[in-house]
Structure 1
Amino acid sequence: MDTTKEQVMNRFNEHAAVYDEQRKKLIPCFDDFYSIPISLIESGKKDPSVLDIGAGTGLFSAFLKEKFPQAQLTLIDLSEKMLEIAKKRFNHEEIRYVTADYTKYQFEEQTFDIIISSLSIHHLSDEEKRKLYQNVYKWLNPGGIFINADQVLGHTPFIDSLYKQDWQQKIAASGLTKQQLETAHERTKLDRMSTLQQQLDWLTESGFHDVDCVYKYFNFVVLFGRK
């Protein structure tokens, strides 16, 4: 495991217990950020197979589960502590949990109808993102969809500075404590964001059809692709 991934794993292990309660304060567009991708997810099956990459505490999967109660979920994440929170969230439901690096893990002889991710892929290098999108395409069943709710780098330094300034102002007024704000800022040092256009291009290069950014709020975006 490279140094950055180990730092990400350790940081999220440390803050797993309080991760969910801070989400709405750290994501100014929280409601749209999760409700819009869920509204776009459709399946001809009552029990679609779903993979959540970088699943964390299972927050995104929980919203999907409300729409598809019989969905067959697989959650993969580096952080064992985050997945422990997910297990408590879903209680005794039959869900597969994988503690692993999803950039290296191989889902042998298993494919999915839906693959989702939220606020995880921006921790990867550009090359890892490109390779991951190729793997996601391979892991999907024909007609399957991929939705990534994540953060992107501004396409110019000035635009990126506007994104960061807006976020800093909004979380400063969110009610988080000084310590919580410092911790949030510290976590951003682990970010390795790419621009929106780069990621749309990589999805297209990977073979996805109907690639689009279906939602954007400063640097919070929802990306869509269909196999």
Structure 2
Amino acid sequence: PYDETKKRNGVAAMGDRVQQQFDAVSSRYDAQRRMLIPCFDDFYGMAAWAADSAAAEPRILDLGAGTGLMSSFMRQRYPRAHITLTDFTASMLDKARERFAGDSRVDFVQADMTGELPEGPYDLIVSSLAIHHLRHEDKRLLFGSVMARLEDGGRFVNADQAAAESPLFDRLYREQWLRDIYDGRLAAEEADAPCFEGKSTSTRKCPSSFAGWRKRASPASIASINIGILPCSAP
């Protein structure tokens, strides 16, 4: 049976670890992203392209927004959008405030994705490289909260990493990624996201496979689910 108390304690412990890591790297987070994501511009650019809205001034919620990287791509596409950035790490949001200084159409909310989200409704809800940190049950609950906050006809875009369907391919993909990104500029410990800490249980708890994403994101209110794969190689 599902133990709610154990779940809350586990989420709190994992959340503390993730928050501490992001606190430690907030000042160099943006520079690291370009090293960690070989196809950086395509990755964020494709997500912004998929976040399509007919609204002239779309209301956008960015979950786990960090320093505002994804929101910056959304701002480029929608100059008059109202964007709300949420993150549970204060130092990351401080960097986001610097990025959007003087932009009156951007709000910041320090909040945990496993808790209560801003009410909305929103024309677009986006997230990038954040939701994989959640345990699978929390992903399911989050997707329900997202659907409840979308305007009719709204769209949810999650640009994230996914586990391979087998441990063999998961290992092969990870080894290739490490070859692509590790050239001495990035310390080995910085190349490891919390979900890839050696043999810790988080390797089994975090990234879902594509089939897992589909299973956890399929309430009846969703009109369609599209999953795309962006192959990357080092420049």
Superposed pair shares fold, TM > 0.5:
yes
From 157, 176, 184, the equivalent of 2:185 is 176
The CA deviation at 1:210 is 2.0
Structure-2 change in CA distance of 1:68 and 1:145 (3 Å): same
Q: Provide the residue aligned with 2:136 in structure 1.
A: 126
Whether 1:88 and 2:118 are equivalent positions in the alignment is no
Whether 1:68 and 2:78 are equivalent positions in the alignment is yes
The CA deviation at 1:92 is 1.8
Q: Deviations over 1:142-195 (max 9, x none)?
A: 00000000011111111111111111111123x524xx2222226432661111
The CA deviation at 1:206 is 5.5
Judge conservation of contact 1:52–1:74 (CA < 8 Å) in 2: yes
Q: Distance in 2 between the 1:66 and 1:120 partners?
A: 21
Q: Provide the residue aligned with 2:112 in structure 1.
A: 101
Q: Provide the residue aligned with 1:221 in structure 2.
A: none
Q: Distance in 1 between the 2:129 and 2:17 partners?
A: 16
The CA deviation at 1:202 is 1.8
From 8, 24, 37, the equivalent of 1:27 is 37
Q: Pairwise CA RMSD of aligned residues?
A: 1.7
Matched length: 214
From 47, 57, 81, the equivalent of 1:37 is 47
Q: Deviations over 1:3-28 (max 9, x none)?
A: 10011111101100100011111012
Q: Distance in 2 between the 1:42 and 1:21 partners?
A: 27
Gapped regions of structure 2 (runs ≥ 5): 1-10
Segments ≥4 residues shifted beyond 6 Å: none
Q: Distance in 2 between the 1:36 and 1:216 partners?
A: 9
Q: Provide the residue aligned with 1:14 in structure 2.
A: 24
Q: Deviations over 1:68-99 (max 9, x none)?
A: 01110111001100000000000121221111
- Kindly indicate which of the two structures has a greater share of residues assigned to strand: 1
Judge conservation of contact 1:133–1:206 (CA < 8 Å) in 2: no
Instruction: Specify the code of the residue in structure 1 equivalent to 2:39.
Output: C
Judge conservation of contact 2:64–2:113 (CA < 8 Å) in 1: yes
The CA deviation at 1:62 is 0.3
The CA deviation at 1:105 is 1.6
Q: Deviations over 1:100-146 (max 9, x none)?
A: 112212424x2100000000000000000011111111110000000
Judge conservation of contact 1:171–1:181 (CA < 8 Å) in 2: no
The alignment-based identity, stated in percent, is 35
Q: Distance in 1 between the 2:157 and 2:68 partners?
A: 15
Judge conservation of contact 1:25–1:171 (CA < 8 Å) in 2: yes
Q: Provide the residue aligned with 2:8 in structure 1.
A: none
Q: Which runs of structure 2 are paired with 1:156-167 in the superposition (5 Å)?
A: 156-167=166-177
Structure-2 change in CA distance of 1:64 and 1:214 (3 Å): same
Where 2:221 maps in the other structure, the secondary structure is: coil
Q: Provide the residue aligned with 1:199 in structure 2.
A: 213
Instruction: Specify the code of the residue in structure 2 equivalent to 1:96.
Output: D
Where 1:63 maps in the other structure, the secondary structure is: helix
Q: Provide the residue aligned with 1:55 in structure 2.
A: 65
Q: If the length of structure 1 is used for normalisation, what is the TM-score? A: 0.89
Q: Provide the residue aligned with 2:4 in structure 1.
A: none
Judge conservation of contact 2:51–2:126 (CA < 8 Å) in 1: no
